[in-house]
Structure 1
Amino acid sequence: MTEVPLDGFPERVRIVDVGARDGLQAWPDPVSTDVKIELINTLIAAGVPQLEVTSFVAPRAVPNMADAREVMAGIDRSRGAEMTALVPNARGAERAIEAGVDAMVVFLSASESHNQANVNCSRDKSLAAAAEIARMGQDADVPVYGAIATAFGCPFEGNVAIKDIVQVAKSYGDCGIAQLTLGDTTGMATPRLVQERCRTLATEVPAADIALHFHNTRGVGLACAYAGLQEGITRFEASIAGIGGCPFAPGATGNICTEDLVYMLQESGVATGINLDALIEVARRTEKALGQTLPGQVMKAGPRLRRYEREDVRSSSGSRA
């Protein structure tokens, strides 16, 4: 492992695994509570410091999140990992606080049309709900983070103007929400857009603490994360084995893979505090539990220096070496 990070890279980053929430919210089959709890607990054991574990939304809208309270109750909290949950409104916030989350995540879309499709209301109403949840969080001493969906493009409107991102970030700031995530909901991000948005927000909203959340829809998710590292970003969201996809965004696929991201960081000399071998095992177990081939690459190939016995590998002559 390289001990010194690549030039311009941070020495350490914080990985947030969102597989149990973003990864499973749109899964076509029901996923049992026990499977979710095992997934979360094995990720914690592998050293993942923060997880978005569930969403306190209406069960009819996202059936796989109907067991939010039960999932929270089954999590091993002894290792000190931070457990966050997505909340859409005050009722969801009440349930999340009662369930003992460490932090709540509010969300809205940078584009008006996707916000209507995603939560069936305007951006202004979503911002009002975020402000209410922020007040509830302050009263309960539960931090509130803000997510901005379609931050790199909208499946209905196309390009999203940077001024709209800045406006939402400032509105969050007015509510006392400083930790923001730029969400690449349908994989429309490019390294150039990442650079533009990170630099503009650093200038226009300097108090914002930015995280990046990429989907690998067009195969450039890790390239976008690399661009974020070059801009000094130190928080990234990813999903174990690459599961995920927004149910209200056409063409959305899974998030960038947590284990693939950790591998890239490790090979770049950037510390995460996560055991890559243990993470690979979690990814493989997740694939088995879900009964479907998942898109993770490192879980299939292993680390760069994985070795094989020559006698176990077929030679060019057709026989084993």
Structure 2
Amino acid sequence: MEKLLETVLKYPQTEVWNDSCSVKELQYAVDRGAVGATTNPVIVLQVLKNELSDWSGTLKRLIKDNPSWSEDDVAWEMIKIIGAKASEILLPRFHETQGKQGRISFQTNAKYYNNAQKMVDHACELTKVVINGQVKAPASMAGIEAFEEMTYRGISINATVSFTVSQAIAVAEAVERGLDRRIKEGLPIDMMNPVCTIMVGRLDDHLKNDVKSKNILVEPDILEYAGVAVVKKAYSIYQTRKYRTTLLVAAFRNPYHWLEFIGSKIVLTIPYGWQVKFNSSEYEITNKADDSVHGTIIQKLMKLPEFIKAYEEDGLNVEEFEHYGAFTATINQFLNGYDDLCKLIRTFMVTEIS
């Protein structure tokens, strides 16, 4: 039996999602037990590049039928079309679980990361694309405000651009406020499924870049556990406080980002390439939910100020979220990726005009 299918069969509380809206990759994942998927402009760009022959006709028709549209208009329509196509694969699971699984995440425009109202408005637009949609937005100061309002409006959120325990707590508290407002007004919450991402690999990347830039010598292996340690700390807090948000592990860089969370009530959103590697591996599938990162590793990591900011409950205040190094690096990549998506579409528009 392939390892990811074995993971979810042995421990159904541990969900696997496909970290892409590629229909081909999602079908591979679903055939092996995956129950969700995600999109963002960078992912859509990659799907278009890898599967251009499948989508070029749709893109050309969209441009031809809407001659007054900008590349931004076309980009967002393509994001919706590609995401909607992938969502069909997940729809049976969505109905079987009454909305608890089988969702695909659409991401709000990264340009809105500092504007709560724009994120909420865009979330309301994106949630209408498919019945089994979920909405991603960055866990910035404005994002935390937006998550409460989105939740109140019945939107299942997926907090992204998130790397720290303090962000995870702020997200969960915002969701709790939104859910409580709905309950107070007699509005249903039974089909909602909020999640909070922690981008473990991107945190590891940030710490590696930080020690390199500061000429700090550390044992390289400990940095492979930094994101794992942060998620396990946040997970313990979530379980103790009984938050109604589920943690989600993203940005895979090593096998620990899978193995260390087997058995936890958690979501693992795994890129196709890592899925193939994991499925062909010989790792033993064992429950690691109650295992902690070794104390010696934590002690060494705690000598790094950037790790302390990520690991401690009060490591960052909400105003600092969007200034943390991993956040700035990731939001810039998302912004640049969106620009690259628009550039790709522009080449089709100019060709069609010519």
Q: Structure 2 length normalisation: TM-score?
A: 0.46
